[in-house]
Structure 1
Amino acid sequence: MSTNSPTPGSVRSAAALNEQIRALWIRAGGYLSPQERVEYELLVVQWAAAVREEIVEAA
């Protein structure tokens, strides 16, 4: 997994998380190893939470 994982409770924007997801796919060459898959799944969950948070803040 990536060494630049966030500390628990840290908040990143959906855009920043999306960029990290894209970078992971590019780095992986379109095929995720089991470790990369775990990182990807964590990032997607964090991204979804950030999107929800941004929607709540906008409302």
Structure 2
Amino acid sequence: MSPNLPASGRVRSAAEEINEQIRAFWIGPGAHPTVPLSREQRAEYERLLTELRRVEREDVTAVV
């Protein structure tokens, strides 16, 4: 086994990780699709969407 790979666990794509963070805005505590995001939440949400588009274009993979 390569010393650079984890002994156990799963390799997740960066897109999967970002999608998980995006979903948290809509399914987290007190979250609901009809409740508006705060200015700070909206900025973070937009940042995550931009990052998701970038990693999908580049097919970036992260090891978790």
TM-score, length-scaled by structure 2: 0.59
Runs of 4+ in 1 over 6 A off after TM superposition: none
Percent identity of the aligned residues? 43
Which of structures 1 and 2 has the bigger CA Rg?
2
Q: Return 5+ residue gaps in structure 2 as ranges.
A: 1-12
Aligned length: 44
Q: Return 5+ residue gaps in structure 1 as ranges.
A: 1-11
Q: Greater strand percent: which structure?
A: 2
CA RMSD of aligned residues (A): 1.9
Task: State the structure with bigger RCO (CA 8 A, min sep 6), 1 or 2.
Answer: 2
Q: Greater helix percent: which structure?
A: 1
